Amino acid sequence: MKIQVKNIYKIFGNKPEAQLGKVKAGMGKEALLDETGHTLGLNDISLDIEEGQIFVIMGLSGSGKSTLIRHFNRLIEPTDGHIIINGQDVMALPERELEDFRRHKISMVFQRFGLLPHKSVLDNTAYGLQIQGVGKAERAEKAGYWLEQVGLKGFEEQYPHQLSGGMQQRVGLARALTTDPEILLMDEAFSALDPLIRREMQDQLLELQQKLHKTIVFITHDLDEALRLGDRIAILRDGELVQVGSPEEILLKPADDYVQAFVQDVNRARVLTASHVLAPAKLTVTLKSKPQQAVELLKEHSSEYACVLDGTQLKGLITVLDAQRALNDNADSLANYLSSVESVRSDTELEQILPNILSNNGAPIAVTGKDGGFKGWVSCEKLISLVA
């Protein structure tokens, strides 16, 4: 477990501690405001965030998500509760250790970028290292590397106001990565960007995450974004946790009407992937199988085809007719009788699979894992039930 959020309460007002008892006894947000003039920001938030995950916290404005993310690096102090990172309670860190923690372990990307207007792109990117006291040459080298990673090579000497919004946020991302933190906090990092750029940035983040495996806490008000990026999603409403789950769980089993209202307009074809419509293969044969065996197996299962594997790799498809032909020809193996098969990776969006199905005239489409290993077939029934 990387990050454990334990019973975080945040009350805004003159004497928040004095109101804590009432909130813990169950007083709601409105009652508290009427009675004491205090605003309940976060109410008993507990979360477990696994290492290497993109954990998305989603909610509308006023839900407390931006307040919550600022608790992870203690830009905001909680009224009560703990955040445990790598076994260390962040809330218990004294000033100097907190600074050290912020310098090395955790960094942040901001909605409105938060770039330093008086520093060049390179110096902005190197800011975290500068704070750490790293020498100039090393700073320039690391910052240059990360600028290249986010596609901003050649812009080192420019100033932030000379860049577009998308480019500024790339600088923000590079700046956050340059200190090589274990945890990345992203506060509505892409919300200020226009939709095309936003999608580009999401792709870039996912691509980087494939290589880096950081623990990322990502805040957004956009459910599409949450579903696209999140390994797990927490939904926040009025400072309370409504649901925590995988994107599929949120989409397919919304916890209440509030979540239901959110998810009903989501374009599932763009969110769900081939892994959601996977049907395991009933019948597999290997390259080493004899034609005789294949024919018998096919007849036994009254199946028209079977996939042929070499180890876990999919080699092709053998139909009943071809298997019979192989048998008639007295062939040694099925290798020369295979027909090719359309395949998609398990993280392919349904939207991209749909045209394949239409153009494939009802022939089966295989689903493979990231390593190319065979996982099963695309189930048309499941696909229709999810998308329709």
Partner 1 sequence: MFPELFSTRELRKSIDGSVDWLVTNYADSFEALTQPFLAILIWLEQLLRGAPWWAVILGVALVSYAASRSWLLSLGMSALLFFIGAIGLWDQGMQTLALMLVATGLSVVIGIPVGILMASYDRFRKIMLPVLDIMQTMPSFVYLIPVVMLFGLGKVPAIFATIIYAVPPLIRLTDLGIRLVDADVLEASRAFGANRRQQLFGIQLPLALPNIMAGINQTTMMALAMVVIASMIGARGLGQEVLIGINRLEVGRGLLAGLAIVALAILFDRITQSLGKRMSVAQQDS
Binding region for partner 1 (CB under 8 A) = 73, 75, 98-104, 107-108, 110, 112-118, 127-128, 130-132, 159-162, 175, 179, 185
* 3-state class (DSSP) for residue 239: coil
Minimum Å gap between C-beta 174 and partner 1 is 13
Task: Quote the least distance from Cβ 111 to partner 1, whole Å.
Answer: 8
Residue/partner pairs of 357-366 with CB below 8 Å, 24 or more apart: 357/383, 364/305, 364/317, 365/341, 366/307, 366/314, 366/341, 366/342
Least distance in Å: CB of 152 to partner 1? 17
Cβ–Cβ contacts within 10 Å for residue 96, how many? 8
Q: Which is nearer to partner 1, 175 or 315 (CB)?
A: 175
| Residue with smaller CB distance to partner 1, 132 or 324 | 132
Collapsing DSSP to helix, strand or coil, 134 comes out as coil
CB closer to partner 1, 81 vs 114 = 114
Q: How far apart are CA 45 and CA 239, in angstroms?
A: 8
- Smaller CB separation from partner 1, 160 or 291: 160
Q: How far is the CB of 340 from partner 1 (least distance, A)?
A: 53
* Residue 267 DSSP one-character state: -
- For partner 1, the closer CB: 216 or 338: 216
Q: How far is CA 145 from CA 93, 119, 364, in A?
A: 32, 18, 44
Cα–Cα dist 237/235, whole Å: 7
**Exposed/middle/buried for residue 273 (C-beta within 10 Å: 0-12, 13-18, 19+):** buried
Q: Tell me which DSSP letter residue 109 carries.
A: E
- Using the minimum distance from each CB to partner 1, give the nearer residue, 185 or 219: 185
Contact 217, 184 (CB under 8 A): yes
The radius of gyration of the chain from alpha carbons, rounded to an integer in Å, stands at 26
Least distance (Å) between residue 143 CB and partner 1? 13
* Closest distance of CB 42 from partner 1, Å: 18
Measured from the CB atom, the residue of 69 and 285 that comes closer to partner 1 is 69
User: Cβ 260 to partner 1, closest distance in Å?
Assistant: 35
